[in-house]
Each structure stands twice: as structure tokens, then as C-alpha cells.
Amino acid sequence: MKRSINAVYPGSFDPITNGHIYIAERAAALFDEVVVSVLLNPQKKAAFSVEERKAMAREALSHLPNVKVDSFSGLLVDFLRQEQSRIIIRGLRALSDFEYEFQLALMNRQLAPEIETLFIVTEARYSYLSSHAVKEIYQFGGAVHDMVPPGVFRRLRERFPLPRNILP
Ligand code: PNS
């Protein structure tokens, strides 16, 4: 009998961007099930609550039937064990991501040697894109509508109303 293979794609997703969606789409094409899991970290100040981040991710990934959205707190490897998964998916943009990702992957391997981190390289047009950049650009009146899905753009407008003369 064929064993089904599931993977976990963790992150802050504050908010989900088109770059994240691209990685989720590629992961969904490789695995039977992908769990996009939003980190609940009370120590890190987020622009959106976990429930809002999950709702935005769910909306943005609804075209992928084998992707589900969840959240986790505590250690990522504990969440993987709970999900009975052995694969962590992370997206890689520029070389600058590498050092942080390398450390994260080695830490997780130290904690759980049976778990593997797999990197999916982003597409060139998303290589500069991050949730942090989206929030900053938006708040200074820059155009972000082609960087995030429509539901995120709507929520950004609700969360950070801009002066009338600035219409991103
Ligand atoms: O989108 P992000 O903020 O780059 O995602 C980072 C994330 C959520 C993958 C990472 O912070 C994480 O796994 N946090 C959970 C705590 C943990 O397991 N730490 C041990 C590895 S250093």
C-alpha cells in the first residue's frame, strides 16, 4: 500500500504574500498533504492575530485541495511529531536567507534527527518580497496590490487606513 507523505510549511505569515503562495503551490505538487502552519509567538509583536493570519492563508490557498492551514506554538519539531510529519518546507529567496535558514535547519535536526528540512527556491519576481516589506511599503503609501492576495490587501486597508491622498 502506498504511504501518504505530508509536509509542514511553517512561518509567521504576517501576512501571507504571493511569495509564500508560490512555495505552498510547489510543495502541494510534491506531497500528498501540506500543512501551512502559522506560528503563535506571544513574544513577537505581529500586525495580525493568528486567527486573522490563518483566515488570510486559508482564503489564499483555497485553490489547493491538499493544503490545510493550522497554527502552532512552542517547538516546530513537536508540531511535526503531532502531525506525524518528517518534512519541513522552507522557501529560499536570496543568499541572505541562507545563514538563518541553515541555523534553523541544523537546530531542528539536533532536536529531531528524523526530521528533514527541504528548501524550495522562490521565483525571481518574489526574491525581494517579504511580509515585513509589504507592511512597510503599504504604510508609507507604496503599491502592494501585486505582492499579496486580494484578501490580504483588503485587510491591510482595514487595519492601516491611509490618508485620503495616498491610495496604494
Ligand atoms: O516566517 P518566519 O518568521 O521566518 O518563520 C520562522 C519559524 C516559525 C519557522 C521559526 O521561528 C520556528 O520554527 N519557531 C518555532 C520555535 C522553534 O521550534 N525553534 C527551534 C528552532 S531555532
For residue range 105-123, list pLDDT tens digits in order.
999 999 999 999 999 999 9
Distance of CA 53 to the CA centre of its chain: 10
Range 120-130 average pLDDT? 95
Q: How confident is the model at residue 78 (pLDDT cuts 50, 70, 90)?
A: very high
Q: Which of 116, 112, 162, 115 is nearest to 137 (CA)?
A: 162
Q: How confident is the model at residue 3 (pLDDT cuts 50, 70, 90)?
A: confident
Nine cell digits for residue 113: 534527527
- State the pLDDT at residue 167: 56
- State the pLDDT at residue 168: 56
Q: Name, of 40-44, 150-154, 160-164, the range with top average pLDDT.
A: 150-154
d(CA 19, CA 125): 9
Pocket lining: 64 vs ligand 1, CB cutoff 6 Å: no
The closest residue, in CA terms, to atom 17 on ligand 1 is 75
Q: Which of 66, 57, 60, 74 is nearest to 29 (CA)?
A: 66
Residues taking part in catalysis? 20, 44, 93, 131
- State the pLDDT at residue 83: 96
pLDDT at 134 over 60: yes
Strand, helix or coil for residue 121: strand
Per CATH, is 6-159 categorized as 3.40.50.620? yes
d(CA 27, CA 10): 12
168 CA → ligand 1 middle, Å: 31
Range 138-165 average pLDDT? 87
Strand partners, 70: 37
- In the DSSP assignment, the letter for residue 16 is -
What pLDDT digit, counting tens, does each position of 13-43 carry? 999 999 999 999 999 999 999 999 999 988 8
Give domain limits for the chain: 6-159
56 CA → ligand 1 middle, Å: 20
- State the pLDDT at residue 160: 84
